[in-house]
Structure 1
Amino acid sequence: MSAISRAHLPEAGRPLLGTVAVIASCVAFMVIGALQALYGPAIPALREEYGISPAAAGLSLSAHFVGALLGVLVYHLLRGRLNERLLLGGSYVLMAAGAAAFAFAPSWLPALAGTFVIGLGFGGIDYGLNQLFAVGFGNRSTAMLNLLNGHFGIGAIAGPALIGWLGADHYPEIFVGLGVVSLLILVTLGGVASRESEPATADGAATGGARALPVIAGFIGIYVLHVAIETGVGGWEPTHLEAVGYGAATAATATSAYWAAMTIGRFVVAPLSLRWSAPSILTVCCAGMAGFLLLATVPTLAPYAYFGVGLTIAPIFPTCLPWLNRAVPGVAAAGAYVIAASMIGGVAFPPLLGAVVDTMDVTTLPLVLFGLAVACALLSRWLRRNVPDPGGVAESRAAQGPEPVTTRES
């Protein structure tokens, strides 16, 4: 077994995640995807129940993301002191407790506190499972991370569908149900290794210090920019499509298709990542993003172009994380930095894009996002040239040489 392969096993020789734990992790990502997507559809019921304005109701998602950001940072700080099972278990319990508090809150402020607690658990699960999948499957980590994050998309589609089926006034039951699922996942934590082993340093990796800083900064740039584009399209696509002549129903359907493409893209890339290296996938995705956003400036092509943006943006988050961990194995906080950056981007960029739209015109939105995509593509090109992917698929196969010819006995 190579040094890199051994890096993905704990010292006892046991895999970081057993089969049941992998399945439970995918269910957990469906739960966090559903929870994040439920706040918007629940707003009408929240306004009626608590007598609040739309802006106040929108604070539920803001409180959730503030909690999630703090959850990532706390989980990272505690990783060296507490084992993975305890941290994940605590995150599941927090998410369940927050869901119950939100569902049964007697007034709006306790409800907001509930969304903050949901966010704390959400952030821990998001960071903890992404990190375990990023280092726990060797050369298959990129494929497995795309699979994991694809289940987030399934949950994000299913959550609003449940609201639509049961009615917005039944949001408390849905939140409580998801909290119960979170608690049930606790019984599968025996399949999670208590601790990760120290990652091995591969040739070409930046182990830490000054050499690692520009590498981490490059990945943070990729994460911030692609999340800005993701939230920009998700938030402003309906407005843009209506501005260029589409009806409200068509614009809403096209936006749903965009989010569905985010899920499809991850499942499609999962098997492709077993043959293509992470730098290659990132380069193609960033170029594709830019190309489709340019096509979105043509009104007749815009709905289809946005679907293409969803397909190409989807693999970036789960593809870059294993590459980052392999590139800077000596910087334990690297994963926390980029995941936190992605959350900050999700909070900060929607109002910034709103300000741009107010000062210019919503029809310029694709061009603004195209500029961000070009910057993302330039960063991806720099990373590909200056940050090799030690232990990646293409590199590992090249190092192994041609596979031996075997014969089958009859």
Structure 2
Amino acid sequence: MTATSEAALPEGGKPLLTTVAIVASCLAFVLIGALQALYGPAIPALRDEYGISPAVAGLSLSAHFAGALLGVLIYHLLRGRLNNRMLLGGSYLLMAVGAVVFAFSPSWALALAGTFVIGLGFGGIDYGLNRLFAVGFGHRGTAMLNLLNGHFGIGAIAGPALIGRFGADSYPELFVGAGVISLLILVTLGGVAAREPAPAPVSADSASAGGARVLPIIGVFIGIYVLHVAIETGVGGWEPTHLEAVGYGTATAATATSAYWAAMTIGRFVAAPISLRWSAPSILLVSCVGMAGFLLLATVPALAPYAYFGVGLMIAPIFPTCLPWLNRAVPGVAAAGAYVIAASMIGGVAFPPLLGAVIDTMEVNTVPLLLFLLAVICGVLSLWLRRNAPDPGGVPGPRDRARTDSVTAP
């Protein structure tokens, strides 16, 4: 049975994504993961080329995320007017154009404009593909989203590795290469359905009963997305500083931080088969409890590097697990996915400096405790969702699996 055999079928009986389109989508996520991770290692070369300070060079990532946030919102607003192929195609083109502008810009202002355009395409690809995978695979949506986002992690590891291999001065060639790959992916868009199937009609009784809870449910999902991204970026940004403060060397701290990001990639690939047996509410609750437990262990210096690796494993499934659950919990609110993805980007931009401001008034040793408190709040929100937004449309029971297997068996 192929991955597309259980995808939602729009009018005409074709799947939302063919096998070729699924492979291309995974390649696209490797690409956007690599692009996002290339900015930091390229900073030394950017400073030399444009004569700018580290803080100014860091604006490249800020411009990228600003563009990505706008890209998510534009993609969502245009969904009713343009089809998936046009929107994804436009996103790939924007990313390719932005990459070339950034690589060959004669001025820093134009280079920042290039990163903003890259971000526009990045946001459209991130939102568009996450949405298609969330609605396109039935109860396998969570597994497929974990696989898709796992490939983002592969790119995030590969980008800095390429800079390390070829040197920071090679960043123009790497960005141009990413742009070329983005253009090549365009030829696979024929395997993407133009439109998604209309959501199943909701009975009047169900609508009246659940309507009052729609906004709180979306709000709690947004809270979980903001908080878990805050923890993710908080660990990624402050783990090296914390480890050095408790006695580890710079090299050990850097290696442990790389292991943390690798753990997030590993965790998503591991979560894919698990999500076929465990419900989304259970995975979320275990992830939140696990995050809190490992962050508490990170307060013990001898355990801290290993504890942060555990935090990465626990964070990994949250983003791809909650998105299909959200779509099933509020099927009549098409904008819900855009809200939470945009919220996750805001959390990634806004929280690191906020955490830094808090640490300025305290000690860096308090980092794991501060993040532990956020994880506890995440756990409380997950319990609320478990009670108020059950997920009967997620993982099917044993009888349903047996029935599906008997129908699809050759």
Q: Which residue of 2 aligns with 1:22?
A: 22
Write the letter of the residue equivalent to 1:52.
I
**1:310 positional shift:** 0.1
Write the letter of the residue equivalent to 1:326.
R
- Contact 1:202–1:326 (8 Å) recurs in 2: no
Report the more deviating stretch, 384-393 or 174-183.
384-393
- Contact 1:33–1:154 (8 Å) recurs in 2: yes
TM-score of the aligned structures, taking structure 1 as reference length: 0.95
Task: Note closer, same or farther for the CA distance 1:346–1:147 as it changes in structure 2 (3 Å cut).
Answer: same
Q: Does 1:301 align with 2:313?
A: no
How many percent of aligned residue pairs carry the same amino acid? 81
* Equivalent residue runs for 1:168-183 within 5 Å: 168-183=168-183
SS at match of 2:397: helix
Write the letter of the residue equivalent to 1:62.
S
Q: Which residue of 2 aligns with 1:135?
A: 135
Q: Which residue of 1 aligns with 2:335?
A: 333
Provide structure 1 residue ranges, at least 5 long, that are not aligned to the other structure: none
Q: Which residue of 2 aligns with 1:377?
A: 379
Q: Matched residues in 2 for 1:384 and 1:125: separation?
A: 30
Q: Which residue of 1 aligns with 2:247?
A: 245
Q: Matched residues in 2 for 1:57 and 1:309: separation?
A: 30
Q: Matched residues in 2 for 1:405 and 1:49: separation?
A: 59
Q: Which residue of 2 aligns with 1:319?
A: 321
**1:206 positional shift:** 6.2
Q: Does 1:188 align with 2:159?
A: no
- Contact 1:289–1:312 (8 Å) recurs in 2: yes
Write the letter of the residue equivalent to 2:70.
L
Q: Matched residues in 1 for 2:162 and 2:352: separation?
A: 26
Task: Note closer, same or farther for the CA distance 1:371–1:185 as it changes in structure 2 (3 Å cut).
Answer: same
Q: CA RMSD of the aligned region, Å? A: 1.8
**1:12 positional shift:** 1.4
Q: Matched residues in 1 for 2:343 and 2:402: separation?
A: 40
1:316-335 superposed Cα distances (whole Å, 9 cap, x missing partner): 00000000000100000000
Provide structure 2 residue ranges, at least 5 long, that are not aligned to the other structure: none
Task: Note closer, same or farther for the CA distance 1:404–1:122 as it changes in structure 2 (3 Å cut).
Answer: closer
Q: Which residue of 2 aligns with 1:88?
A: 88
- Contact 1:64–1:116 (8 Å) recurs in 2: yes
- Contact 2:7–2:15 (8 Å) recurs in 1: no
Write the letter of the residue equivalent to 1:71.
G
Q: Which residue of 2 aligns with 1:277?
A: 279
SS at match of 2:344: helix
Task: Note closer, same or farther for the CA distance 1:349–1:270 as it changes in structure 2 (3 Å cut).
Answer: same
Task: Note closer, same or farther for the CA distance 1:401–1:197 as it changes in structure 2 (3 Å cut).
Answer: closer
* Equivalent residue runs for 1:195-206 within 5 Å: 195-201=195-201
- Contact 1:7–1:200 (8 Å) recurs in 2: no
Q: Matched residues in 2 for 1:229 and 1:176: separation?
A: 32
Q: Which residue of 2 aligns with 1:110?
A: 110
Q: Which runs of 4+ in 1 moved over 3 A?
A: 201-210, 398-406
Q: Matched residues in 1 for 2:87 and 2:405: separation?
A: 46
Aligned pair count reads 400
Q: Which residue of 2 aligns with 1:255?
A: 257
- Contact 2:45–2:169 (8 Å) recurs in 1: yes
**1:210 positional shift:** 3.5
TM-score of the aligned structures, taking structure 2 as reference length: 0.95
Question: Which of 254, 257, 268 is residue 270 of structure 2 equivalent to?
Answer: 268
SS at match of 1:274: coil
Task: Note closer, same or farther for the CA distance 1:298–1:6 as it changes in structure 2 (3 Å cut).
Answer: closer
Q: Matched residues in 2 for 1:332 and 1:209: separation?
A: 14
SS at match of 1:196: coil
Write the letter of the residue equivalent to 1:274.
L
Write the letter of the residue equivalent to 1:24.
A
Q: Which residue of 2 aligns with 1:353?
A: 355
- Contact 2:31–2:152 (8 Å) recurs in 1: yes
Q: Which residue of 2 aligns with 1:368?
A: 370
- Contact 2:92–2:182 (8 Å) recurs in 1: yes
Task: Note closer, same or farther for the CA distance 1:258–1:205 as it changes in structure 2 (3 Å cut).
Answer: farther
1:366-391 superposed Cα distances (whole Å, 9 cap, x missing partner): 00000000000000011011111131
